[in-house]
């Protein structure tokens, strides 16, 4: 599970907040790699490779796991489920 961060806000309060920001400003949604083994996407949602899906946990992947979700990019759009 990867972390998620919203530029100008910090850690999101809910998956709904991630979904809303990603729909309007995907460049403000930062996906955080958390694995020490690498091989995870680390960057903004708008620059994710096309067709990739990332599974995230929030608000903080290290200390507070209240919600889970997935974020993907297909057809030039960022979708949060």
- Of the pLDDT bands very low, low, confident and very high (cuts 50, 70, 90), residue 16 is very high
Q: What is the pLDDT of residues 22-64, one digit of tens each?
A: 999 999 999 999 998 988 999 999 999 999 999 999 999 999 9
Helices then strands, each counted (H, E), the chain: 1, 6
The CA distance from 22 to 34, in Å, is: 20
**How is residue 29 written in tokens?**
């949604």
Q: Write out the residue range of the structural domain in which residue 35 sits.
A: 3-80
The pTM of the whole model exceeds 0.85:
yes
Q: Tell me the CA distances in angstroms from 10 to 36, 46, 59, one per residue in order.
A: 22, 18, 9
Number of structural domains found in the chain: 1
- Residue 81 is predicted with a pLDDT of 94
- Residue 78 is predicted with a pLDDT of 94
């Amino acid at each position: 599970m990867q972390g998620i961060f919203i530029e100008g806000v910090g850690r999101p309060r809910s998956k709904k907040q991630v979904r809303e920001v990603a729909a309007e400003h995907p460049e403000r949604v930062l996906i955080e790699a958390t694995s020490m083994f690498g091989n995870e996407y680390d960057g903004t949602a708008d620059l994710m490779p096309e067709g990739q899906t990332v599974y995230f946990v929030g608000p903080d992947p290290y200390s507070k796991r209240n919600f889970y979700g997935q974020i993907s990019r297909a057809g030039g759009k960022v979708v949060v489920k």
